[in-house]
Amino acid sequence: MEKRLYIPVETKNREFDAKLLLACTAAESGYTVVLGYKKQLLKHLEELPPGIFFDKSLPLDKLQKFVYYKKLGHKLVAHDEEGLAPFSLEEYQRRRQYCNASLEHCEYMLAWGEWQADFIRAKAPLFQEKVVATGHPRVDLTRKELRGFYQEEVEQLLAQYGHFLLLNTNFSFGNHFYGEGGFVEALEAAGKIRDEVHRQFYLGIQHHQERLFEEFVSMIKALRERFPGMTIIVRPHPSENHEKWCEVLPEHEKVIVKHEGNVLPWLMAAQVVIHNSCTTGIEAYLLERPVIAYLPVRNEAFEGYLANPLSELALTREELLKTVARYLEKGLPPQPDSQKQALAKQHITGLDGALSSDRIVKLLDTVVISPGNSGRTAYQVYHRLKKMREKISIHRIFGMDANSQQDLAERHKKQKFPGVELDELLVSLAKLQTLSGRFADLHAISIAPNLFQITQGSRS
């Protein structure tokens, strides 16, 4: 039976390049791969031949969806896109609800590293063998042999902005696209808040991030005064309200709010990276860039396990300014730190040796595909009810009519996935071919808007 792999992408800037690398690796191994916007892929999934569906997470509340995939003949392999550095283990488990039931319907649950794998195994002891620490293709692109994938973008950024400081924000609870309290309400509408304790935890994150937002605004103004010759780039999280940053920051040609492209070339081009509990802090560390975690408001329950410890900490504004000045003066990458290296290896597989993409495809080759059937009703009903619930919630919160609801939701999706053209994919494929010396005989075509098929040779 033909080997087929379906790879959905939800947030373009975060996921697309890495999942293209995975798609190329699988196609090289003989898979017909369909890669693209998640909404578009799901729309066509019923029409597509049975294959492996590579989902972005595996929470228990998606159980009906997993059963639906199986009835179509697909096998499920999942990788928790947001599982590298959760706020806390308690919150992570409440949100994902890992257990024997959630892993029953998947072939493999892929973990970023042994830390996450051990946690999931403990929650699903009957299916421990399904949990495998493979690393993630996003890590592959931080490795020295593949960093050149972004060299052209790095040069363009330096030519456009000169020397700049990069501030990555992760305040979607405190500054959500849907407005004040929007993230908590959206979680509640989607049935992702388990109980009142869980709700209060998220409200705590919201208030914490609202304070951090104000502290970051003040800090950015201080950076502007202290380093007047430096450009300051503020890169908000894809689910944040980007316009709010533009409203509160000084109108100045050297203070720029921008969320464009993958974050890796921005990290590579920046003189110094500043964040708070953001995965980009981990990526900056892996790229050996000067990276500072600014922690003017402390609450360990809301700070995560990895991004801050892999960065240099600054607890006050003055401490931050001094640290930035030191990095700018020395112009050197941070020195290797054995404790940070050990921490990174505990959480992340694939920092050396085989690429995570190759580890994943090796596992996929052990999955046996069988024909499906047409038992689709349960998930279709579930999906319709979920969409209705989300719309009702948006109407209740914002008092919007149906057209306004749809417009808001579409603008949010557009911010997270602005679209991909075939030419863009082909340029990226050519870069991967040049850097890796692989993938020379791969062929890519567009099969629907934002949806592509990648195969060996000219198979269609």
Mapping DSSP onto H, E and C, the string for 198-213 reads HHHHHHHHHHHHHHHH
Distance CA 15, CA 431 (A): 17
Alpha-carbon distances, residue 350 vs 256, 283, 357 (angstroms)? 34, 13, 9
What is the predicted pLDDT for the residue at 399?
A: 53
Sign of the CA dihedral running 422, 428, 434, 440: negative
With CA atoms as reference, report the closest residue to 264 among 144, 96, 162, 434.
Answer: 144
pLDDT score at 458: 60
Helix (H) or strand (E) segment spanning residue 378: helix 377-398
What is the Cα gyration radius of the chain?
22
Given a cut of 70, the residues of the chain with pLDDT beneath it are: 371-413, 415, 458-460
CB 100 within 8 A of CB 126: yes
pLDDT of 444 reads 97
- Are 141 and 153 a contacting pair, CB within 8 Å? no
Structure tokens at 183: 């993230």
Q: Name the DSSP class of 12.
A: H
Q: What is the pLDDT of residue 191?
A: 74
Dihedral of the CA atoms 141, 142, 147, 152 (nearest 10)? 80
CA-to-CA distance for 52 and 33, rounded, in angstroms?
9
Q: Which amino acid is at 168?
A: N
**CA distances for 144 relative to 166, 173, 260, 282, 436, angstroms:** 21, 34, 23, 15, 11
> What was the pLDDT predicted at 297?
95
- Tell me the CA distances in angstroms from 212 to 91, 238, 419, one per residue in order: 20, 17, 31
pTM exceeds cut of 0.75: yes
Q: Do 249 and 235 meet the contact criterion of CB atoms below 8 Å apart?
A: no
- Using left for φ > 0, alpha for ψ between -120 and 50, and beta otherwise, residue 277 falls in left
Secondary structure string (H, E, C) spanning 401-454: CHHHHHHHHHHHHHHHCCCCCHHHHHHHHHHHHHHHCCCCCEEEEEEECCEEEE
